[in-house]
């Protein structure tokens, strides 16, 4: 119980009503509520004074951006790594890309600067060129935020993933060979410097204004002391659907792991199907079924792709690291010589022909499974390879190629549609009518299957997209 009574300061403690005070005196009853209110007011006053002091005494960032050497134009993309902006250097108007990474601990600056240091030492016409890096600090809040910024070459044509999504039907075998040869040169240069990229994928291959490719994103690259193909111990890093079997199975891997990822990129170029759209991680699927790569190639590779690229693709996606060719070995192949003739037929033309031809004819072709149901109804509606996968569902489940979605009843329907008279003469009109009905049913079935596959692949894409 608080003591009661009038004290000299005019403050009364207690719950009873104080006696009438003399004029000119203010009496404050110090109840628990009033004490709590005074405490809150005092705390807010202290915080306000601290905030005003920080505003009046805050420092100004002196980086290149804050000194108006660069002008930020627009946001290109963002993710767990940070944000990427398009910036313009004011004194000459040249555009660059700035990678802005939030630094939660000042000691992380050294770790993030590793990518910048790698870009400084790696100079190649097919590798994203480095401009500069610096630390940027924002003092807007109570605690300043620190960012590490890397300024790099700007590739206005986007990345290879976007190119596959938007223009796959306009690809040719000649164009695929040219792009992949340039990418091989970049990887060969990295491996000659004993650098392993560890995150090779179509999202990290950029298209420059001159039409050439640039390999970028070196945040996960590591140096290996072993100049040969021997593996070394590294941490688990990269994108799982592009990882080689040895990266998934152990922590010892080397340059052949990059060549596996190169095979994944070549697979996307030849099929229009992204690795995350498969029914699982290819590196794990190969360990369970050594024939899965052969089945996928037979089912999904565009008919315009010749045997030379198919053979290289099979070798790059070899489950054993020692069975994969090096970047130098690939470049020396006759396939990448100028004298080697490659098809210039558009992939979209063959996809259209495959979706309109006769079912029996497509079944009898070597690429029947790929030119038929796998791409039925695709044409203009190609969306990142949607409708390409699962074409060979019969192939993946072990069924015979002629018993898949396309031509399960090709031979039987042909026999059923041929009627004979009592004299043994064939009735042509009835056969043609029956064949037409069979073709319409098969086309409807292919369209429904393609739509179902598109929906399933879009769901997988949302799940696995990085």
Write out the CATH class of domain 158-466: mainly alpha
Q: At what angle do helices 428-464 and 410-417 cross, to 10 degrees?
A: 160
Q: Please report, for residues 158, 292, 293, 301, the alpha-carbon distance to residue 289 in angstroms, rounded to integers and kept in the order given.
A: 35, 6, 9, 19
Give bridge partners of residue 135 from the DSSP assignment. 148
Per-residue pLDDT at 129? 87
Per-residue pLDDT at 412? 40
Residue 199 bears catalytic tag: yes
Per-residue pLDDT at 383? 36
Q: Which residue bears the tokens 């006759």?
A: 334
Q: Please answer whether residues 312 and 330 qualify as being in contact, where contact means their C-beta atoms are separated by less than 8 angstroms.
A: yes
Q: Which residue bears the tokens 């040969």?
A: 228
CA distance 334 to 341: 10
At 18, list the tokens: 């104080």
CATH topology identical between 70-153 and 158-466: no
Cα 45 off chain centre by:
50
Name the pairing type of β-strands 28-29 and 11-12.
Answer: parallel
CA distance 356 to 287: 37
Per-residue pLDDT at 409? 36
Q: Please answer whether residues 412 and 363 qualify as being in contact, where contact means their C-beta atoms are separated by less than 8 angstroms.
A: no
Q: Which residue bears the tokens 């805050």?
A: 58
CA distance 14 to 2: 5
Q: Please report, for residues 413, 435, 451, the alpha-carbon distance to residue 409 in angstroms, rounded to integers and kept in the order given.
A: 6, 12, 21
Per-residue pLDDT at 198? 87
CA distance 58 to 67: 17
Q: Please answer whether residues 88 and 73 qualify as being in contact, where contact means their C-beta atoms are separated by less than 8 angstroms.
A: yes
Residue 335 is classified by DSSP as G
Ranges of each domain in the chain: 1-42, 70-153, 158-466
CA distance 399 to 379: 27
- Picking from 131, 134, 63, the residue whose alpha carbon sits closest to that of residue 96 is 131
- Picking from 461, 182, 205, the residue whose alpha carbon sits closest to that of residue 327 is 182
Q: At what angle do helices 307-316 and 292-300 cross, to 10 degrees?
A: 150
3-class SS of residue 145? strand
Q: Please answer whether residues 151 and 132 qualify as being in contact, where contact means their C-beta atoms are separated by less than 8 angstroms.
A: yes
Per-residue pLDDT at 451? 55
Per-residue pLDDT at 384? 36
Q: Which residue bears the tokens 């940070």?
A: 82
> Mind giving me the DSSP string for 85-119?
EEEEETTT--EEEEEEEEESSTTHHHHHHHHHHHH
Per-residue pLDDT at 103? 84
- Picking from 299, 302, 260, the residue whose alpha carbon sits closest to that of residue 281 is 260
Looking at CATH, the fold of the domain delimited by 70-153 is given as Phosphorylase Kinase; domain 1 (3.30.200)
Per-residue pLDDT at 239? 86
Counting DSSP H helices and E strands in the chain, the numbers are 16, 13
* pTM above threshold 0.75: no
Of the residues 133, 159, 199, 217, only one is catalytic, namely 199
Cα 462 off chain centre by:
11
Residues 6+ apart with CB under 8 A from 266: 176, 180, 309, 312, 313, 316
Task: List per-residue pLDDT tens for the chain, 466 residues long.
Answer: 444 444 444 555 555 555 555 666 767 777 888 889 889 999 999 998 888 887 776 677 888 888 889 999 999 888 767 789 999 999 889 999 998 888 887 667 776 776 677 667 888 999 998 888 888 888 766 678 888 888 999 998 889 999 999 999 999 999 999 999 999 999 999 999 888 998 899 999 999 988 899 998 887 788 776 655 556 656 667 788 999 999 888 778 889 999 999 999 999 999 999 999 999 999 999 999 989 999 999 999 999 999 999 999 999 999 999 999 999 999 999 889 877 788 888 998 877 544 433 323 333 333 333 333 333 333 333 333 333 333 333 323 333 333 333 333 334 433 333 333 334 444 444 444 444 455 556 655 655 565 566 556 555 554 444 4
Residue 144 is classified by DSSP as -
């Amino acid at each position: 119980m608080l003591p009661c009574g009038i004290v000299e300061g005019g403050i009364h403690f207690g719950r009873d009503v104080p006696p009438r005070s003399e004029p000119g005196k203010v009496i404050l009853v110090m109840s628990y509520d009033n004490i709590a209110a005074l405490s809150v007011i005092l705390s807010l006053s202290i915080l306000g004074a601290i905030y005003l002091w920080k505003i009046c005494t805050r420092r100004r960032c002196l980086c290149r951006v804050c000194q108006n050497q660069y002008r930020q134009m627009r946001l290109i993309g963002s993710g767990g790594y940070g944000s990427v902006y398009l910036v313009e250097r004011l004194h000459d108007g040249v555009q660059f890309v700035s990678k802005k990474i939030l630094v939660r601990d000042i000691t992380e600056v050294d770790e993030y600067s590793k990518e910048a240091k790698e870009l400084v030492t790696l100079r190649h016409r097919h590798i994203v060129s480095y401009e500069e890096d610096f630390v940027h600090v924002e003092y807007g809040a109570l605690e300043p935020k620190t960012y590490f910024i890397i300024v790099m070459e700007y590739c206005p044509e986007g990345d290879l993933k976007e190119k596959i999504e938007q223009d796959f039907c306009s690809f040719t075998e000649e164009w695929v060979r040219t792009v992949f040869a340039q990418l091989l040169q970049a990887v060969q240069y990295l491996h000659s410097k004993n650098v392993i990229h560890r995150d090779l994928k179509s999202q990290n291959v950029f298209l420059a204004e001159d039409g050439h490719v640039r390999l970028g994103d070196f945040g996960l690259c590591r140096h290996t002391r072993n100049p040969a193909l021997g593996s070394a111990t590294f941490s688990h890093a990269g994108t799982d659907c592009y990882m080689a079997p040895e990266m998934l199975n152990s922590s010892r891997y080397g340059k052949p792991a990059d060549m596996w990822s190169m095979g994944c990129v070549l697979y996307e170029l030849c099929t229009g199907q992204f690795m995350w759209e498969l029914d699982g991680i290819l590196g794990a699927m190969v360990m369970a079924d050594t024939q899965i790569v052969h089945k996928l190639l037979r089912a999904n590779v565009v008919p315009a792709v010749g045997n030379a690229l198919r053979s290289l693709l099979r070798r790059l996606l070899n489950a054993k690291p020692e069975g994969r060719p090096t970047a130098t070995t690939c470049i020396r192949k006759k396939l990448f010589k100028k004298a080697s003739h490659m098809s210039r037929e558009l992939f979209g033309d063959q996809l259209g022909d495959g979706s309109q031809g006769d079912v029996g004819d497509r079944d009898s072709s070597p690429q029947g499974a790929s030119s038929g149901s796998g791409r039925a109804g695709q044409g203009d509606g190609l969306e990142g390879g949607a409708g390409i996968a699962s074409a060979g569902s019969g192939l993946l489940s072990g069924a015979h190629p002629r018993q898949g979605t396309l031509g399960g009843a090709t031979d039987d329907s042909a026999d059923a549609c041929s009627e004979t008279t009592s004299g043994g003469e064939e009735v042509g009109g009835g056969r043609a009518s029956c064949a037409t009905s069979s073709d319409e049913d098969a086309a409807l079935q292919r369209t429904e299957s393609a739509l179902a596959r598109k929906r399933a692949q879009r769901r997988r894409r949302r799940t696995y997209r990085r």
